[in-house]
């Protein structure tokens, strides 16, 4: 029955992530990992989380969002801010990182809700426009945001450090405009990244295969019919969108803790980043979480791994893009894939018998 099929599919997805972790551990222990690749491991997890979470909005809810980097940015800054604030109060870096992850997810989730409430009530594709603007606004605001703390408490400014008007002796600048946040402990490890990816999968996959997930997908498939059988459209749209935003915020916190300096630059959090994540989702297949992970990891690692090939690098990248698109989106290829899969399954059954 489908229920078992779903269970197997999910197990394969979790298994794939765990296997990837094991392989990397073995390669690391045996000294087969280049330092270049080691530096890539946390971003790989981060992009996989971002792609899976965006797929919840795009593939499962069926709404286009172009502001995923904005939610990631909010998470990154609120998380890094907390970690730095609590430096003396909470000495354990691990505990601070954990608290930062929760705060980052919460902040991004609340913003998702705030954007969703006016926009998701409208019929039509307004979400794409609004989220695109939101991402840019957040990035630009944080770029001119100065926050400091002294014995009197917190100080905010949109101008520069001096206008914070802090006490000379005790004043510490926490967020320094375009220079961002420096000195965040680099607590993010590959293992933590994989754990967060597994958590994301757990939340998203269990959500999809539950009463709530069915309601969300019914809205995607036919809004009018969903309404006619009593599904609260706004509620479920908001729920999917803010969970998606919260997970992006969590990925942002992971990112912030893998850098010594966090800047709200266009490279880090611009709309290009949002579109890159969307590319992962589309290439991996709408609603296909495993595909999102594979696409995100492959396309993040590929340009780096192919660096030695110089001239052919972008060519190979382009070919991989095209092949993945065909593999995941062309009806013929999907048909072929299901035939192959059922053959394999049939073969497996015979073996058992």
Partner 1 sequence: MAADSKSVKMADGAVKSGGSAGQAAKAGTVPTLEVKNLSISFGGLKAVDGFNVVIEKGQLYGLIGPNGAGKTTVFNLLTGVYKPDTGVILLDGKNITGRKTIEINQEGIARTFQNIRLFKELSVLDNVKVGLHNHHKYSTLEGILRLPSFYKVEKEMNERAMELLSVFDLDKECDYKASNLPYGKQRKLEIARALATDPKLLLLDEPAAGMNPNETAELMETIRFVREKFNMTILLIEHDMKLVAGICERLTVLNFGQVLTQGETSEVLNDRRVITAYLGE
Interaction site with partner 1 (CB under 8 A):
1-2, 202-203, 206-207, 210-215, 217-218, 220-222, 224-233, 239, 287
Of 242 and 268, which has the nearer Cβ to partner 1?
242
Q: What is the CA radius of gyration of the chain?
A: 22
Least distance in Å: CB of 343 to partner 1?
Answer: 19
Residue 160 vs 221, nearer CB to partner 1: 221
Closer residue to partner 1, CB minimum distance, 163 or 206:
206
Backbone φ and ψ for 181, nearest 5 degrees, come out as -110, 125
Give the shortest CB-61-to-partner 1 separation in angstroms. 12
Distance of closest approach, residue 225 Cβ to partner 1, in angstroms: 4
CB of 213 to partner 1, least distance (A): 8
Cβ proximity to partner 1: between 224 and 353 the closer is 224
Q: Which residues contact 79 (CB under 8 A, 6 or more apart)?
A: 100, 101, 103, 104, 249, 252, 253, 256, 257
| Cβ nearer to partner 1, comparing 156 with 202 | 202
Minimum CB–partner distance for residue 11 and partner 1 (Å): 14
Q: Give me the least distance between CB of 16 and partner 1, in Å please.
A: 21
Choose between 11 and 322: whose C-beta lies nearer to partner 1: 11
**Minimum distance of partner 1 from residue 316's CB (angstroms):** 33
- Partnered with residue 155 across adjacent β-strands are 148
- Of 153 and 230, CB closest to partner 1: 230
* In the complex, minimum distance from the CB of residue 123 to partner 1, in angstroms, rounded to a whole number: 12
129 versus 203: smaller Cβ distance to partner 1: 203
């Amino acid at each position: 029955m489908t229920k078992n099929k779903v269970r197997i599919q999910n197990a394969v997805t979790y298994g794939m992530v765990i296997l990837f972790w094991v392989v990397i551990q073995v390669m690391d222990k045996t000294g087969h990992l280049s330092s270049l690749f080691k530096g890539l491991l946390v971003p790989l997890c981060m992009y996989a989380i971002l792609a899976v979470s965006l797929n919840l909005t795009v593939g499962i809810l069926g709404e286009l969002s172009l502001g995923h980097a904005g939610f990631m940015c909010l998470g990154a800054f609120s998380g890094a801010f907390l970690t730095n604030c609590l430096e003396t109060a909470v000495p354990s870096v691990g505990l601070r990182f954990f608290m930062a992850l929760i705060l980052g997810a919460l902040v991004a989730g609340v913003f998702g809700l705030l954007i969703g409430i006016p926009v998701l009530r409208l019929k039509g594709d307004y979400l794409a426009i609004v989220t695109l603007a939101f991402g840019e606004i957040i990035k630009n605001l944080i770029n001119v945001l100065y926050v400091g703390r002294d014995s009197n408490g917190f100080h905010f400014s949109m101008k520069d450090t001096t206008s914070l008007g802090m006490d000379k002796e005790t004043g510490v600048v926490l967020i320094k405009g375009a220079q961002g946040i420096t000195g965040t402990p680099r607590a993010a490890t590959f293992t933590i990244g994989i754990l967060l990816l597994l958590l994301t999968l757990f939340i998203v996959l269990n959500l999809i295969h539950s009463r709530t997930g069915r309601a969300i997908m019914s809205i995607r498939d036919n809004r009018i019919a969903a309404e006619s059988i009593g599904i609260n459209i706004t509620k479920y749209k908001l729920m999917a969108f803010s969970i998606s935003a919260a997970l992006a915020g969590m990925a942002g916190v992971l990112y912030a803790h893998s850098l010594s300096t966090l800047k709200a630059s266009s490279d880090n959090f611009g709309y290009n980043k949002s579109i890159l994540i969307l590319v992962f989702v589309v290439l991996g297949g709408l609603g296909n979480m495993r595909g999102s992970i594979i696409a995100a990891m492959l396309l993040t690692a590929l340009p780096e791994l192919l660096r030695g090939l110089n001239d052919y690098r972008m060519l190979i990248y382009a070919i991989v893009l095209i092949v993945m698109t065909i593999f995941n989106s062309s009806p013929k290829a999907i048909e072929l894939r299901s035939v192959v899969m059922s053959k394999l399954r049939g073969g497996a059954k015979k073996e058992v018998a």
